[in-house]
Amino acid sequence: MDRPVSRPRRNRRTGIIRSLVRETHLTPSCLVLPLFLHEGKVDVPIAAMPGCNRLSPDGLLRSAERAFHDGVGAIVLFPAIDESLKTKLAEECYRPDGLIPKTIRALKKQLPDLIIITDVALDPYSSDGHDGLVASDGRILNDETVEVLCKQALCHAQAGADIVAPSDMMDGRVGAIRRSLDSAGYTDVSILAYTAKYASAYYGPFREALDSAPRAGDKKTYQMDPANRREAIRELRLDEAEGADMVMVKPAGPYLDVIAEIRRSTVLPVAAYQVSGEYAMIQAAAQKGWLDERSAALESLLAIRRAGADFILTYFAQKAAHWLKS
């Protein structure tokens, strides 16, 4: 009987050999932890996202410190804003002593080396629940929204944010924010552009966490159509030209092909956001005993890295850091 000359299994024979030839590596340093915060004095569990909470100021500082000491060097902040502060013009988003600026200053005092990324969008602050300003006829106003986003990004930079991440998907906002930051002297503040943010069904638990669902209509006129891949390259070209320092695909798992396409098409760092729905599905299956949480979570993150993401925003960040160390 002819026996095979080439035996790929030789490279799988032991754990050490598998490590030597491993093509993709997952480490705590390539993970970013999203954190939800609110003005309350206690942490409030998020039902749809087991293990995640709306954090009090003290709780957020503790969570950020634990993550940092576990090797997760960056966090991204998402605020749950009191209903009484939400308005049609979302003025709360750029108030200097608002929840996000206060939190940034506290974090920088306690953990000066922690990288702080802030979300730049209006939906947590808007009484309409949209990422942009809403006209009387229901249209999302692009250019008027960009003016507010520039104020918001500048407010975050002044408080000490390292990276601002416009997630709104308004046209031209990256260039406008870059000019606004530079003209104010914040040339070192980076922009992480949500380049390909899809109008996805996987955002539901996040909107519950922040109570930021649209009060009317949906986000399909500004977030991308899930059917489109080539359009992501068009968005990429625009963000590159406008001065983005890093680009992102959101969601991650259902859009691995888009991550790979973006990776092939740019020399900029590529991020991917493993969103709340992806997290919730793994957690739900693990609680039922249908999946092993650790194995499924790490495999999902490895797949996102393999597709081409340089770093990943994931609610598993701190757990994954523990698992990877062990």
- How many CB atoms are closer than 10 A to CB 114? 17
CA-based nearest residue to 256, from 206, 198, 295: 198
Would you state the structure tokens that stand for residue 35, as one six-digit string? 């954190």
- Cα 32 to Cα 103, 117, 134, 152: the distances in Å are 17, 9, 31, 22
Greatest C-alpha distance within the chain = 79
Distance, CA of 294 to CA of 296 (rounded, Å):
6
Active-site residue set: 197, 250
> pLDDT by residue for the chain (326 residues), tens digit each?
788 889 999 999 999 999 999 999 999 999 999 999 999 999 999 999 999 999 999 999 999 999 999 999 999 999 999 999 999 999 999 999 999 999 999 999 999 999 999 999 999 999 999 999 999 999 999 999 999 999 999 999 999 999 999 999 999 999 999 999 999 999 999 999 999 999 999 998 888 877 778 888 899 999 999 999 999 999 999 999 999 999 999 999 999 999 999 999 999 999 999 999 999 999 999 999 999 999 999 999 999 999 999 999 999 999 999 999 88
The pLDDT value given to residue 130: 95
- Spell out the residues 6+ positions from residue 110 whose beta carbon is closer than 8 angstroms to its own: 61, 64, 65
- Cα 269 to Cα 156, 191, 193, 311: the distances in Å are 22, 11, 11, 8
Alpha carbon dihedral 298, 277, 221, 161, in 10-degree steps, equals -60
What are 226-230's contacts with CB under 8 Å, separation 24+?
A: 226/198, 226/199, 226/200, 226/254, 229/257, 229/258, 229/261
Which superfamily does 26-325 belong to?
A: Aldolase class I (3.20.20.70)
The pLDDT value given to residue 55: 97
Domain locations in the chain?
Answer: 26-325
Distance, CA of 182 to CA of 176 (rounded, Å):
10
- Spell out the residues 6+ positions from residue 24 whose beta carbon is closer than 8 angstroms to its own: 302, 305, 306
pTM exceeds 0.85, yes or no: yes
